[in-house]
Amino acid sequence: MRRLKAGAPANVEIRHADFLQLDLRETTASLRRGAGGRAANSLRVVGNLPYGISAPILLRLLRHALAAGIRDAVVMLQREVAERVVAGAGSRAYGPLAVMSALHADTRWMLDVPPGAFRPAPRVRSAVVSLNFRDPVRAPVDAAGFELLVRRLFTRRRKQVVNALAAFNSSPGFDPLSVCRAAGLCPTRRPGALDLPELIDLSDVLAAMPD
């Protein structure tokens, strides 16, 4: 860290911190103050994310980027994680990370990075993806409930939706078949085949139910 700071240009500020613990709003506000108060949408994220925690970092960015004034990110990831960012409904890589990415950003696969691009060469392949953060085209009524629902459904991605919902709520009065009908979903669909609008429909029906 000392050598990095010593070699950094005058217009580069080095901060040593755990990204998952940072207050992003305060951090970006501080960066803007140091840059003469430039507009919030001038902030960008670029990085080779630690492969072991890249998904939690991405989810944190997806939840808070716009509020922190971050307009986009270009990041290098392990290829399997990159596939999970851009995956579409029904694909093997489709899951909570793809759903949250589709909710909060426009994503694009930019390039593959082979092991030979590194010295020493790792055992995994990498890829670079971009995320342009935006407000959701349609936001769930209950954002936290939506994310919880998605995570739980995808632990049972190969079950029928009606059965996956039964495991989601075990209260005696809960009728998963009625929930599917209210959301306009065929109860025999699989969670891994539900696209973003369908998942929002399902979440909104659950959010409207009495406690």
- DSSP for 51-118 reads GGGHHHHHHHHHHHTTTTTEEEEEEEEEHHHHHHHHPPTTSTT-SHHHHHHHHHEEEEEEEEE-GGGS
- Distance, CA of 167 to CA of 152 (rounded, Å): 9
Q: Tell me how far apart the terminal alpha carbons of the chain are, to the nearest angstrom.
A: 51
pLDDT at 8 over 60: yes
Residue 150's φ and ψ, nearest 5 degrees, are -60, -45
Residue 41 has a pLDDT of 52
The number of domains in the chain is 2
Residue 173 has a pLDDT of 84
Residue of 22 and 146 predicted with greater confidence: 146
**Are 45 and 111 in a shared domain?**
yes
Could you give the C-alpha distances from 77 to 19, 45, 49, in angstroms and in order? 16, 14, 6
pLDDT at 206 over 70: yes
**Are 103 and 151 in a shared domain?**
no
**Are 87 and 162 in a shared domain?**
no
Residue 6 placed within a domain = no
Give the residue carrying structure tokens 């009606």. 162
**Residue 39, amino acid:** A
Q: Are 100 and 59 in contact (CB under 8 A)?
A: yes
pLDDT at 44 over 60: yes
- Distance, CA of 119 to CA of 122 (rounded, Å): 8
Residue 52 placed within a domain = yes
Residue 25 placed within a domain = yes
Pairing of strands 105-113, 43-48: unpaired
- Distance, CA of 72 to CA of 106 (rounded, Å): 9
Q: Are 180 and 187 in contact (CB under 8 A)?
A: yes
- Distance, CA of 162 to CA of 178 (rounded, Å): 9
Residue 39 has a pLDDT of 53
Q: Assign residue 119 the CATH number of its domain.
A: 3.40.50.150
pLDDT at 96 over 80: yes
The rounded percent of the chain whose pLDDT value lies above 90 is 71
pLDDT at 4 over 90: no
**Tens digits of residue pLDDT in 116-158:** 898 898 899 999 999 999 999 999 999 999 999 999 999 999 9
Give the residue carrying structure tokens 């950094």. 8
**Are 25 and 129 in a shared domain?**
yes
Residue 2 placed within a domain = no
Residue 73 placed within a domain = yes
Residue 81 placed within a domain = yes
Which pLDDT band holds residue 207 (cuts at 50, 70, 90)? Answer: very high
Could you give the C-alpha distances from 172 to 75, 81, 169, 175, in angstroms and in order? 46, 38, 9, 8
**Are 119 and 147 in a shared domain?**
no
Residue of 20 and 168 predicted with greater confidence: 20
Domain housing 165? 143-207
Chosen domain end from 133, 158, 174: 133
pTM of the model: 0.90
Chosen domain end from 112, 133, 154: 133
**H/E stretch holding 130:** strand 126-133
Residue 129's φ and ψ, nearest 5 degrees, are -125, 155
pLDDT at 12 over 90: no
Residue 202 has a pLDDT of 97
pLDDT at 33 over 90: no
Residue 169 placed within a domain = yes
